[in-house]
Structures are given as C-alpha cells and as structure tokens.
Structure 1
Amino acid sequence: KPVPGTWEELTATAKEIMEAERAAGNSELWGYVYQGAAYEGLTCNAMEWIASYGGGQVVEPDGAISVNNEAAVEALTLAATWVGDIAPEGVLNYAEEDARGVFQSGNAVFMRNWNYAYALVTGEDSPIKDDVDVTTLPAGASGQGASILGGSHLGVARYSEHQDAAIELVRFLNDTESQRKRAIEASRPPTLSALYQDEEIGARQPFIPLWKPVIDNAIVRPSAPTKADYNEVSSEIWTAAHDVMSGEMEAGAAVARLNARLSRLKGAGW
C-alpha cells in the first residue's frame, strides 16, 4: 500500500492492516502508536495535528491565541477516534519509550517518535531493523503536514569558575565533526545546514538528508511568546488534548476551554 499522505489515510491504512493481521491471528498488532500521556509529548503531538489541519500554532509567534477554530476541533476529533481503535487504550499513558517498545517489538504498523528512535529501531539488535522506514508526518485537511521542533541548548553559567574551558567544550560539542558523529551514531539532526548534504551522513543514515525541508518549515512550541507562562500553557494544551482523547470532553468544548484558559493566563499581555 502507498505511504499515507494524510491523517485520514493513515487512519484507514492502519485499520485495514491491523484488522487483516488480527483476522490472521496476530492479536498483538496495533495500527498506530504515539505519545498520548498527559505531558509535554502530547503538547507536541496536539500542536502538530492542529497545525496540519490549518488550525495555527495555538499561540502564534506574536503571542496571539489562535486555537479557537474549527480546524483545531477537527484535528482533535480525529485523534480521539484512534484510542481503542487503531491505537491501544494504553496510549493515553504512552511517552516516547512506551511507543517505541510496542513498535520495536513488531506490534505496531506506524509510530510517531523523535529522531533518536530511528537509530534504535534500526540497530543491530532490533527485531524490525530491516522493516523500518521514515517519512514526514501526514497532512490534515489543509493539505500540509506539520512537524514540531524540539531541541537542547548548551550554555555557560556566568558564575562558572572555568568559563574558558566550558566555552571550549560547547564549541567542540557543536563543531562539524561532533555533529557529524552524533548524526551517524545516534540519528541526531544537525544544526549545521551543510551537514544535510554530507555524503557520509547520507550513506550511514539515509533519512537524515530528508529532514532539511522538515526542519526549515517546522513549527515551534510557544515558549518564546508566552515566556514564564509556558509551562502552564503547555499543561493546558496537553490537558485539552488528553480530555478529548479519553472521551471526557468533546473537542469543541475542550478547544473553547483551552482558549478561555490561555486568554486568562495572558491577561493584558504575556
């Protein structure tokens, strides 16, 4: 079957394969696993779903709250249909490693995860190492998929007693050779654009060059515009998504509540 290009296609394909496998006696197989627990991972997933449907970034880079729209409702409504159907009920408690455990044991057709998982699911000791490939996340009704950017940052404390050595270490960890090594050995995406055309990386981790347009067009969580309120903003996002997926709230009501709570948090300004 062709690789699903939309969330609706993913839903249908996952269901078709899962049901055929179940009929053949494979009672453990699921169609789709992802991060559905009430934590930061679900904020990432929910924002990707909403953005891919043309529903915006929940809180836009300029600080405007944009989540109260029909596209966001449509995205969360579809996600709620997965639980107990193509995804196990337990997905409501899944973080990254829970999803990978099911997928790497051969018990899921599709998985959404972060880049680190690729090196593990294709590693020498992985039972599915020869049966895995990577593609971009599906599109929603807007016709364009959305990927959310994560990352880690290195800095040097002002009060460090060894600032020069610490700065040297940060520069070393971020230099070309260190980034090439991490890309090859741990499937970590480089921050240096030139490395996406690196022949050695492309040969060893052929999916990394495919990430360049994904990263160039990625959305980000609204930590910059919401400043000190971000932790609470994220909690509200994952709570809304989890309440919809668990059947506690209809998507329209959850999105309206999320909009109201974010507006209250924002007040006169972030």
Structure 2
Amino acid sequence: MRNRPLRGGAAVALSLLLGGGALSACGSSDSPAPSSNDGRGPITVATGKDLTQTVQKLVAKWNDGHPKEKVRLVELPEDGDQARQQLVQNMQIKSDAYDVVRLDAVWTAEFAARRWIRPLPDGLVDTSSFVPAALKTGEYRGKLYAAPWLTGTGVLYYREDLLAKAGIKEPPKTWAEMRDDCAKVRKAPGGKGVDCYAGQYGKYEGLTVNYSEAVQSAGGEVFDSSGKPQVDSPQAKAGLQFLVDGFKNGTIPEKAVTYKEEEGRRAFQEGRLVFHRNWAYVYALASEKDGSKVAGEFGVAPIPGEDGLGSGTLGGNNLAVSAFSKHQATARDFVAHIVSPAVQNEYGRAQSFPLSLAALYTDPGMIKQYPYLPALKQGMDKAKPRPVVVRYNEVSTAIQEHVTAAITGKKPVGQASGELQKALTALAD
C-alpha cells in the first residue's frame, strides 16, 4: 500500500504499527511558527481527489451557511508521496495557500514537530465520539494536532463459496488454520489451481504495512512504547518467518512478491485467490456483478494471526490547521464541522470510506449498507496506530529493504532482522 489519499470507492490505505518514539529534537531545526492567527474569512482546504463529489456537496452546504467564510477545495496529487512533498514544500516556505490540510495519519508527528500545524483547542471536537485508535493518530506529545476523519485497517477477504464446498464453516483465525483451509479447498470442487493467500509485498509502503501486521500478529512490535525498535525479538522474527515461509511453501504465490493493492484485488476478483488481505475499498469493487467473478461469493473477516486473530495496522487521514493560515478561527470551525457526528453520518451514507466516528460501526443502517463494518470494527479494535516518529519515511524505507531481502531469499530471517534492528536504532537516535 502506498501512503496515498483515498480514491473514489476506496478506503484508506494504511501502514506501520509502531508504538511510539517521538524524537527529542523534533522541530528544533525549524523556525518557530507564527503566533496563532485567529482571523476569519475564506479558507482553502488541501485534500485528496474527490471522485464521488461527496466532499464537494458537504462544502457547498457549509458555503451556503457561511457566505463570508467560504471554503475552496484544492486536490492534492493522488500519489501519497507526491501529496506529502507538495504539502512539505508549502510549509517550508511558510505559505498561507492552505488553511486546512488533510494529512495521512503517519504524517501528523512530522508536521506537528516542525510546527507546521497548530494544536486543536480542547473542546473543539468531541474526542469521545471517535474510534480510540484513530484519535491517537492525531495526537503528538499529549496534544491533539489533527482531527481524525477517515480511518480503517486491513481485513481478510475470503471465498465463502469455496470454503463451503470444502466443508469449512468459518474463516480462519490463525495462520495454521488458513493454510489448512487452503489445502482442503484445493481438494474440493472448484478449488484446483486457486492460490491460497496474498497481501501487498512489492517494495513500497504496502510491504511495511504487511510486515508490521505480521510482527504484531505474532505478538511482537516493531517499536516499543519508548520508541526503541524491537524487530529482532523472537516474536518479530516469527512474523517475518511467516512471510518468508509463505513464499517458500506456496501459501503466498511467487508472483505476489510484486503485488500492490490493485494487483491483489484483481487476483481475488478474478477468482485466483482463496484469501486476500486488503482494505475496505475492495468490498464495493469485488461486489460488482459486471466486473467481478466473486460477486456474492465472498466474505470479510479480521486478519488471522499466529495464535488467534491478528493485529492490523491502523491508517487514515486527519484534518489539521496550518500554522501559516491567516484565517485559523474559520479553519478550526470547518475541521470541527466536517468531523462532527451529523456530517460524518451524512458522509458515511454517501460513500464507502471507513470514517472515524465510532457509532457508525454499530449503526444498523450503516451495517445494512456496508455489511463488512462489523468485521472491520473487530479488526480496528486490535489494530495499532502508526509510529509517532518524524523520520517515518526513512523507517519505512529501511523495513522495505531488509524485508524484501528476506522474502526473496537473499538473507535469512535472523540476518535480515538483525540488520534491520541496527538500521532502525540509528534512525530512532
């Protein structure tokens, strides 16, 4: 998965499960941000591409009620790295071009540490209304800098029809059960030649996510709560071993070493996978009768782990107020408006992105519209937020380098884990 903005019909794409590690010198090399400007007036919101036009409609309603504080949307590049680069360049020159910025959850620490965004005042939003883990992605050093808007975690798509033909009544909760289920499916009608399982293993952010989830699902952690890497622990090695063994024994098809989200989604939709780890956006696409061979034949469950249900990576997009905005009072009000229960309810019923409002995941109407929500919520309850580190991109690059070496057989698990431990330790210092 890339750190990309959400696309129409797609849920948020997500990454690392690290537990902490804010750098002590964060922001020290940057000039202090200007004093808070509580001005009011028109604002510009930098966000992702609004293919469904749902956000445009929400903004239009705001503009009707705030003629002197109208909102203009600016769409950032679809590619997450390019979107981040554009925002960073904007902040580095202290531009007031953007008043509200949509941040991938993993960027919050960097932007807060460099004083590019303002802390949100207490009471601006109802923090008790959010999915707790999503709320944490907007925090930095005990303060809320960005309001959670979109959230989610990886889920397991599975072929209900093939499992039923093999006499399997429920999706697997462990890796061993998943392997056993695949063996049974291959002996059952329609199962011959169908690959077992795939996630995202190309050398990009998705590999960081899948590795992190494997580590967590084996009881380990990439970083501990004090910010120290723990990738050479027995549990972390077990997580990496699961991926390595998967490629060796055929649980994961060899071609999946280049898979990103879309390659895996297509393989599942074309009936070439029994199990597939991906994001919530796949549900709508795989359900299209005209474009999917598995429409009506699949289910959604939390991802499996070593000894029980696994732990996914929590991702999402948050809304923050630029420190360089001249109309910060209006910007704050708009952020509070967009993440409010009333607006999230309206937004949630108009499109399929998983939102940050906890009540939506148990709402009967929402569940009827999006049947995967209970499984997604169950997965989110066990999911871990990404790291509170400024040098996240370098951390992710290091993980991709060493995990790729392991799953392609260039390095044994012990060596890859040890070298990754040294690399992450250097980045955390």
Is the TM-score greater than 0.5? Answer: yes
Correspondent of 2:361 among 181, 196, 212: 196
* Larger mean Cα displacement after TM superposition, 36-45 or 73-82: 73-82
AA of the residue aligned to 1:14: C
String of CA shifts for 1:176-231, please: whole Å, max 9, x gaps.
34433554454322211122221210111122133334323311222x0xx22211
Correspondent of 1:137 among 277, 294, 303: 303
Aligned match of 2:235 = 71
2:244 matched to 1:80? yes
For 1:243 and 1:178, the matched residues in 2 are separated by 46
2:223 matched to 1:59? yes
Alpha-carbon shift at residue 122 of structure 1 (Å): 1.7
1:36–1:18 CA distance, 2 compared to 1 (3 A) = farther
For 1:45 and 1:23, the matched residues in 2 are separated by 26
For 1:185 and 1:110, the matched residues in 2 are separated by 28
- The residue correspondences of 1:42-191 to structure 2 (distance < 5 A) are 42-55=207-220, 57-83=221-247, 85-127=250-292, 128-141=294-307, 143-160=308-325, 163=328, 166-167=331-332, 169-191=334-356
Higher relative contact order (CA 8 A, sep 6+): 2
AA of the residue aligned to 1:155: A
For 1:139 and 1:208, the matched residues in 2 are separated by 20
More helix by share: 1
Alpha-carbon shift at residue 172 of structure 1 (Å): 4.2
Aligned match of 1:266 = 428
For 2:390 and 2:353, the matched residues in 1 are separated by 28
Aligned match of 2:393 = 231
Aligned residues: 259
1:121–1:144 CA distance, 2 compared to 1 (3 A) = closer
Alpha-carbon shift at residue 244 of structure 1 (Å): 1.3
Contact 1:119 / 1:186 at 8 angstroms: preserved in 2? no
Alpha-carbon shift at residue 43 of structure 1 (Å): 1.0
**Structure 2 residues not aligned, in runs of 5+:** 1-167
Q: Normalising to structure 2: TM-score of the pair? A: 0.55
Correspondent of 1:244 among 402, 406, 410: 406
Alpha-carbon shift at residue 124 of structure 1 (Å): 4.5
For 2:271 and 2:341, the matched residues in 1 are separated by 35
Contact 1:99 / 1:111 at 8 angstroms: preserved in 2? yes
2:417 matched to 1:255? yes
For 1:182 and 1:109, the matched residues in 2 are separated by 32
For 1:210 and 1:17, the matched residues in 2 are separated by 23
For 1:11 and 1:23, the matched residues in 2 are separated by 14
Correspondent of 1:3 among 163, 171, 175: 171
Contact 1:6 / 1:140 at 8 angstroms: preserved in 2? yes
1:230–1:133 CA distance, 2 compared to 1 (3 A) = same
Contact 2:244 / 2:406 at 8 angstroms: preserved in 1? yes
AA of the residue aligned to 1:119: A
* Larger mean Cα displacement after TM superposition, 237-246 or 46-55: 237-246
1:265–1:17 CA distance, 2 compared to 1 (3 A) = same
**Structure 1 residues not aligned, in runs of 5+:** none
User: Looking at CA atoms only, which structure, 1 or 2, has the larger radius of gyration?
Assistant: 2
For 2:302 and 2:196, the matched residues in 1 are separated by 17
For 2:283 and 2:326, the matched residues in 1 are separated by 38
More strand by share: 2
